[in-house]
Structure 1
Amino acid sequence: MGFTLLFLLVLLGAAGLYAAWRVLWRPNVVTSPYGPAYLYIRTGGSFQNVLDSLQRHELLEEPATFRWLAERRNYPARVLPGRYRLDFGLGNEALLDRLMRGEQDTVEFVLDAFKYKPQLAQQMGKQLEADSTALRRLLNRQTWLQQQYNVDTTTVLTLFIPGRYRLLWNTSAPQFVDSLAAHHRRFWDAERLRRADSLKLSPAEVHVLASIVQRETAKPEDKPVIAGVYLNRLRRGMRLQADPTLLWAIGNFGVKRVLNKDKLVDSPYNTYKHKGLPPGPITSANRQSLDAVLKPATHDYIFFCARPDGSGYSDFAVTYAEHKRNARRYQRRLDSLSIKR
């Protein structure tokens, strides 16, 4: 009898240990052989939403054991939003620890160059949980922008430098602006501020000029030279006469040939009519374009025109007569391609 009782106790103990192992530590997360899976929990999401997502994407071997342990650890009352990495073989205990501590995995947010506020909001809405409408509203709150970042509804676009950022998926619209503004502050270190001051430009004005340079060329070699052209014009009190600012004013960046009627458009962005820089950027300037303005080429060029060979490079000129010759070559190139607009 004693041996039998002992055997039963051992058997029951082993069964209990197995049950505990199965519920707590047994690998339960199932993921693809190509990498980890991710669980997205929206702000305000419930425990049922979490269960539904786990089951819909078949991420758990035994959903019932996860649910049983989660309820006993009071997870349903402590659901935290975010993007959570689910590694293969993760057990229920470890998974719940991650979810209850809010140990999110960040996302790589890629900000491409944009011209208008809705395009920025659209990019954010596609990659993060935040509502794009909320961001559009923020970007038009003049008082808030002035108090928080010392920008207005036009120059606010200078805060957003294209590039790659690490952000939490459930970043809100205000947090999004604050995060990218922080990157903007880090970009404007003491050396860049000194260079801007030596050019008699504010950081915002550097962004505006860099946005024009960026729209003029994609060639890194030409950017400092073009920046130098526009700076020479500014120093001499000449109008910039930048075609990309006209295209922004008429709302059509697909135009290949600027016509005289375009130069009559009534807009502060029409640099054929108005001296100086336009009131805001015509695209979000990247780091390369910004540094091209901050480190411009030194020369006497006042004019430039796209080369007729379609290479994307520009021909530069000191005199108007030389520029007219360059421009005629380019116009003949457009004529040969039957490009009228």
Structure 2
Amino acid sequence: MPTTEAAHSSRRLLWYVLLLALLIGSGLFYGAWRVLWEPNVAVSPYGAAFLYIRTGTGYAAVLDSLRQHELLRNQSTFEWLAEQRGYPRLVRPGRYRLNPTYGNNDILDMLLQGKQDTLDFTLNAFKYKPQLTQQISRQLEADSVELRKLLNDNTFLTRRYHLDTTTVLTMFLPGPYRFFWNTSAHQFLDSAAAVHRRFWTRQRQQRADSLGLSPVQVHVLASIVQRETAMKEDKPVIAGVYLNRLRRGMRLQADPTLLWAIGNFGVKRVLNKDKLVDSPYNTYKHKGLPPGPITSANRQSLDAVLKPAAHQYVFFCARPDGSGYSDFAETFAEHKQNARRYQHRLDSLGIKR
């Protein structure tokens, strides 16, 4: 009998040990799950969460950013695992998208491998260099001071892109771009140059040659066409007007070039005093194209110059109906009538400038 009771006691003890081991194991598994795989990204009501790590910063800056922007649910478990995996010594810069389902292990896999998120943005048309640098520095890590320095370094631009500090603005095509956030100023310029090279196919180059224009000159003329009209149908016609003037040795007399020179594109009515501005961009004074573009020409405007409409027009004027289209003329007498109607329209609206 005592033997039987001892056996039962031993079995109960074994079950207790097994149950305790199971509980301990479950606890350890749960603890490991929490540290490694439990989703640890704080859900934001403002959309996707991103961790930005600036070039040259270290682990302390990463922790400070995580804490300051409240990106994690439990930062202590992240810090513990980061230490175990050696992340403090392997910080890589970039813009990292934190998926709400990511646990600490997923986050660290991404950070250690440098799998940063790409950034899509649209480069809007700009007229002056500061507008370009502002656009870029607002969206990329690229330093605006460094970018301005490169854009004004004639030796660098000539050696690397065969452009100068004025014509370099022809290198930038408005439209969608994709970059890593930590793209440097040099890398941004190289990427813009690559997009520009892809645009200038052999066919486009041949069209420019047939017009007697270099790619830079096409960009400059396209920038004027773009400032003259937003109407797709009118762009090839206006391009044809300016090409006719160039062939006949006439001055372009393009109002948008005056506005660029005086720094005021809000002017609706160009005055005679504007035509006296001392600038190589004053196409009322100087024959030929201005030395550089007056805005970053888009693909539509560039192709309008490369495929101009064939006609004999050498004058045009905005229509008085406010439609945005233009009236075209072959003679100055016709043009004066068109211009008079447009001036009457401005007078009726009380527009003096």
- Which residue pairs with 1:120 in the alignment? 132
- Which residue pairs with 2:319 in the alignment? 307
Aligned residues: 341
- Which residue pairs with 1:193 in the alignment? 205
Cα RMSD (Å)? 1.3
* Contact 1:30-1:60 within 8 A present in 2 as well: yes
Determine whether 1:149 maps to 2:161.
yes
- Which residue pairs with 2:33 in the alignment? 21
Deviates more, 1:13-22 or 1:219-228: 13-22
- Which residue pairs with 1:252 in the alignment? 264
In the aligned structure 2, how far is the partner of 1:229 from the partner of 1:187?
A: 24
In the aligned structure 2, how far is the partner of 1:238 from the partner of 1:21?
A: 78
In the aligned structure 1, how far is the partner of 2:79 from the partner of 2:348?
A: 71
Shift of 1:311: 1.2
Determine whether 1:83 maps to 2:95.
yes
Letter of the 1:313 counterpart: Y
Shift of 1:295: 1.0
In the aligned structure 2, how far is the partner of 1:266 from the partner of 1:32?
A: 55
- Which residue pairs with 2:287 in the alignment? 275
Determine whether 1:48 maps to 2:60.
yes
In the aligned structure 2, how far is the partner of 1:186 from the partner of 1:177?
A: 14
Q: Kindly, what percent of the aligned residue pairs are identical?
A: 73
Q: Once superposed, which parts of structure 1, at least 4 consecutive aligned residues long, lie more than 4 Å away?
A: none
- Which residue pairs with 1:105 in the alignment? 117
In the aligned structure 2, how far is the partner of 1:28 from the partner of 1:174?
A: 36
Which deviations, in whole Å up to 9, do the C-alpha atoms of 1:38-66 show, x marking residues without a partner? Answer: 11111122222222222233222211110
In the aligned structure 1, how far is the partner of 2:164 from the partner of 2:46?
A: 46
SS of 2:177's partner is strand
- Which residue pairs with 1:6 in the alignment? 18
- Which residue pairs with 2:226 in the alignment? 214
- Which residue pairs with 2:336 in the alignment? 324
In the aligned structure 2, how far is the partner of 1:282 from the partner of 1:57?
A: 41
Letter of the 2:52 counterpart: Y
Deviates more, 1:251-260 or 1:275-284: 251-260
Shift of 1:257: 1.3
- Which residue pairs with 1:236 in the alignment? 248
In the aligned structure 1, how far is the partner of 2:42 from the partner of 2:346?
A: 59
In the aligned structure 1, how far is the partner of 2:350 from the partner of 2:116?
A: 55
Normalising by structure 2, report the TM-score. Answer: 0.93
Letter of the 2:103 counterpart: G
Q: Which of the two has higher C-alpha Rg?
A: 2
- Which residue pairs with 2:80 in the alignment? 68
In the aligned structure 1, how far is the partner of 2:188 from the partner of 2:206?
A: 28
Shift of 1:33: 6.2
* Contact 1:115-1:282 within 8 A present in 2 as well: yes
In the aligned structure 2, how far is the partner of 1:288 from the partner of 1:63?
A: 51
* Contact 1:31-1:87 within 8 A present in 2 as well: no
- Which residue pairs with 2:346 in the alignment? 334
* Contact 1:30-1:89 within 8 A present in 2 as well: no
Shift of 1:15: 2.0
In the aligned structure 1, how far is the partner of 2:199 from the partner of 2:299?
A: 9
Shift of 1:195: 1.0
Which deviations, in whole Å up to 9, do the C-alpha atoms of 1:102-134 show, x marking residues without a partner? Answer: 111111122111111011001111111122111
SS of 1:315's partner is strand
In the aligned structure 2, how far is the partner of 1:26 from the partner of 1:332?
A: 72
Letter of the 1:80 counterpart: R
- Which residue pairs with 1:158 in the alignment? 170
In the aligned structure 2, how far is the partner of 1:338 from the partner of 1:35?
A: 47
- Which residue pairs with 1:265 in the alignment? 277
Shift of 1:271: 0.8
Normalising by structure 1, report the TM-score. Answer: 0.97
Shift of 1:3: 3.4
User: Where do 5+ consecutive residues of structure 2 fail to align?
Assistant: 1-12
* Contact 1:142-1:153 within 8 A present in 2 as well: yes
Which deviations, in whole Å up to 9, do the C-alpha atoms of 1:126-150 show, x marking residues without a partner? Answer: 1111221111111000010011100
1:57 equivalent among 62, 66, 69:
69
Letter of the 2:182 counterpart: N
In the aligned structure 1, how far is the partner of 2:46 from the partner of 2:278?
A: 56
